[in-house]
């Protein structure tokens, strides 16, 4: 089971069970709570009615006195009340009065006159000076419909002369109980649904960071240069920063070792040439030979300097697994600046430069400096391989949402054996006219700049002759 599903199920299980038990407690407490409230109201009403009935009971006119007439008048009223969306049209109270022996002497419904109620809990306890109440079936044997009975003593001074029992069917409050239970269940359903939604969002938020970190770690383990996960102010963010620091330290160590080996290898040949020429210059030589060896030392020194400079430039872009600067770059201005940067070399080589931009308003996002350096490297290569009097073509075209920067020359092109190696570090082809080879770092630099911008670089031969270098970059 995936971690995200485990987190969601765990969160939902905890919240869902808590909500379920809370709802169950509330639902189970609604009925007794409402009935307790009803009993409290019946106690108040019973004692008020007991005081009102005392005079008629003492005078022996409980069945035809003022108390009976007032009660009958109240029971005939149309209440026209709406309580919590439920209509109430009549008084639900039933009143029975017993004498001091527990014999029923008054019944508001006229049914149980003369019955001995002294054994009923409400009358029995009240006759003994205690609080009396009971809940009995409305119909004997049917426990589904019950009636709440609450008794109050009727006194003549300190003498107990009877008991008034006030009864109300529990069915009269069942609609309120049912409505309350339904409301609790409905609100609980919303609570569980909201909890599930919060659980999904929390799980998505956590797993989003974990998955980003996982993809980053897998890319790092595969040796792919990728940007670290976006910064977060939590433990996942701390872990991401720790992994990034570890990656930098490990890659930095391996990178230094690799570059030291590469640089040492590439420096051996020019240093050997410089050492040999220096040793020969210590001997008496003709002036012509001395100048030749001195020029050789200068050439090898320039080669070493160029190698070190380009190696440092390549190291700088390779050390960044992602692009450090994002800014709008106008393609027309970029090509113009790149052409201007090599104008002196073009003039010295007797070459012409043709610049063409398909869409002068085209914009890409990236690092303008790195893009200019990449184009300068491509133009330098084109200048080195172009015949005197030739033309170099620099163009920018749009193809399928991608910007293609092309540098074409009229030179000899790329030999078949070199097609797969031109982007290898330190690999270079011999220059026309016996010129010394380059450092072999220009095209790797171009490829790295293209990768940082989300594009790619390639070098192919033209059917008309010459070579064409191409940078494919995503448009803004």
Contacts 24+ apart (CB under 8 A), 171-177: 171/138, 171/145, 172/92, 173/34, 173/35, 173/38, 175/86, 176/34, 176/83, 176/84, 176/86, 177/30, 177/31, 177/34
DSSP string, 313-334: HHHHHHH-SS-S--EEEEHHHH
Instruction: Tell me the domain boundaries of the chain.
Output: 3-179, 225-322, 323-476
- The distance in angstroms from the start CA to the end CA of the chain is 41
DSSP string, 389-406: T-EEEEEEEEETTEEEEE
360-373: burial string, b at 16+ Cβ within 10 Å, e else: eebebbbbbebbbb
Average pLDDT in the 143-166 region?
91
CA distance 355 to 332: 9
* 162 in Cβ contact with 105 (< 8 Å): yes
Average pLDDT in the 429-433 region?
74
For residue 35, the model assigns a pLDDT of: 79
Asked if 3-179 and 225-322 have one fold, the answer is no
CA distance 372 to 376: 6
Count other Cβ atoms within 10 Å, centred on residue 456: 13
For residue 452, the model assigns a pLDDT of: 81
Q: Which of 364, 280, 376 is nearest to 325 (CA)?
A: 364
Cα 6 to chain centroid, rounded: 17
Q: Which two tokens stand for residue 425?
A: 């570090």
Encode pLDDT of 282-302 as tens digits: 777 787 777 777 777 776 676
Task: Reply yes or no on domain 323-476 having CATH 3.30.70.2860.
Answer: no
Look-up: residue for tokens 């339904």?
182
* 342 in Cβ contact with 376 (< 8 Å): yes
Sign for the pseudo-dihedral over CA of 273, 274, 276, 277 = positive
CA distance 392 to 346: 9
Look-up: residue for tokens 């160029």?
306
pLDDT band, very low/low/confident/very high, at 314 (cuts 50, 70, 90): low
Q: Which of 131, 181, 135 is nearest to 152 (CA)?
A: 131
For residue 154, the model assigns a pLDDT of: 95
For residue 121, the model assigns a pLDDT of: 93
In the chain, the percentage of residues whose pLDDT exceeds 70 is 78
For residue 80, what are the CA distances in angstroms to 87, 174, 217, 246, 257?
Answer: 7, 19, 74, 80, 95
pLDDT band, very low/low/confident/very high, at 153 (cuts 50, 70, 90): very high
Look-up: residue for tokens 């969601």?
8
Count other Cβ atoms within 10 Å, centred on residue 405: 26
* 290 in Cβ contact with 279 (< 8 Å): no
Reported as half-sphere exposure (CB side, CA atoms, 13 A), residue 37 has a value of 8
Q: What fold characterizes domain 3-179?
A: Beta-Lactamase (3.30.450)
Encode pLDDT of 41-55 as tens digits: 999 999 999 999 999
| Candidate CATH numbers 3.40.50.2300, 3.20.10.10, 2.30.29.30, 1.10.287.130; the one for domain 225-322 | 1.10.287.130
Average pLDDT in the 99-121 region?
92
Residue 108 has pLDDT above 70, yes or no: yes
> How much is the mean pLDDT over the chain?
80
Residue 144 has pLDDT above 80, yes or no: no
């Amino acid at each position: 089971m995936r971690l995200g599903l485990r987190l969601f199920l765990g969160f939902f299980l905890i919240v869902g069970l808590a909500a379920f038990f809370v709802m169950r407690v509330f639902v189970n407490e609604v009925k007794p709570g409402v009935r307790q409230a009803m009993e409290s109201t019946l106690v108040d009403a019973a004692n008020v009615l007991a005081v009102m009935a005392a005079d008629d009971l003492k005078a022996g006119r409980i069945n035809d006195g003022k108390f009976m007439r007032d009660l009958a008048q109240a029971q005939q009223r149309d209440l026209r009340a709406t309580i919590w969306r439920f209509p109430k049209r009549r008084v639900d109270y039933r009143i029975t009065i017993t004498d001091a022996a527990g014999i029923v002497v008054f019944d508001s419904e006229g049914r149980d006159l003369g019955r001995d109620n002294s054994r009923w809990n409400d009358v029995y306890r009240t006759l003994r000076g205690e609080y009396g109440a009971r809940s009995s079936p409305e119909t004997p044997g049917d426990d589904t419909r019950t009636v709440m009975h609450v008794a109050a003593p009727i006194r003549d001074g300190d003498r107990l002369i009877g008991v008034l029992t006030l009864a109300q069917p529990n069915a009269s409050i069942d609609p309120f109980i049912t409505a309350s239970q339904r409301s609790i269940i409905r609100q609980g359903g919303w609570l569980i649904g909201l909890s599930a939604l919060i659980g999904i969002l929390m799980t998505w938020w956590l797993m989003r960071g974990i998955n980003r970190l996982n993809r980053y770690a897998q890319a790092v383990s595969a040796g792919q240069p990728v940007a670290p996960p976006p910064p977060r102010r939590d433990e996942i963010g701390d872990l991401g920063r720790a992994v990034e620091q570890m990656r930098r330290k490990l890659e930095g160590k391996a990178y230094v070792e690799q570059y030291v080996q590469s640089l040492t290898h590439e420096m051996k040949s020019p240093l050997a040439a410089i050492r040999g020429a220096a040793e020969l210059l210590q001997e008496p030589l003709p002036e012509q030979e001395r100048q030749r060896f001195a020029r050789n030392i200068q050439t090898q020194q320039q080669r070493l300097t160029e190698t070190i400079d380009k190696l440092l430039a390549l190291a700088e872009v390779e050390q960044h697994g992602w692009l450090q600067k994002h800014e709008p770059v106008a393609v027309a201005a970029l090509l113009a600046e790149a052409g201007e940067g090599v104008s002196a070399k073009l003039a010295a080589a007797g070459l012409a430069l043709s610049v063409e931009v398909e869409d002068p308003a085209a914009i890409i996002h990236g690092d303008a400096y790195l893009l200019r350096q990449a184009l300068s490297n491509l133009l330098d290569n084109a200048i080195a391989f172009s015949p005197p009097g030739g033309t170099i073509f620099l163009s920018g075209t749009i193809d399928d949402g991608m910007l293609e920067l092309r540098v074409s020359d009229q030179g000899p092109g790329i030999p078949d054996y070199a097609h797969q190696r031109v982007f290898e570090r330190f690999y270079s082809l011999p220059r026309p006219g016996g010129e010394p080879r380059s450092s072999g770092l220009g095209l790797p630099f171009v490829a790295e700049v293209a990768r940082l911008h989300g594009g790619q670089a390639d070098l192919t031969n033209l059917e008309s002759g010459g070579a064409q270098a191409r940078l494919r970059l995503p448009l803004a």
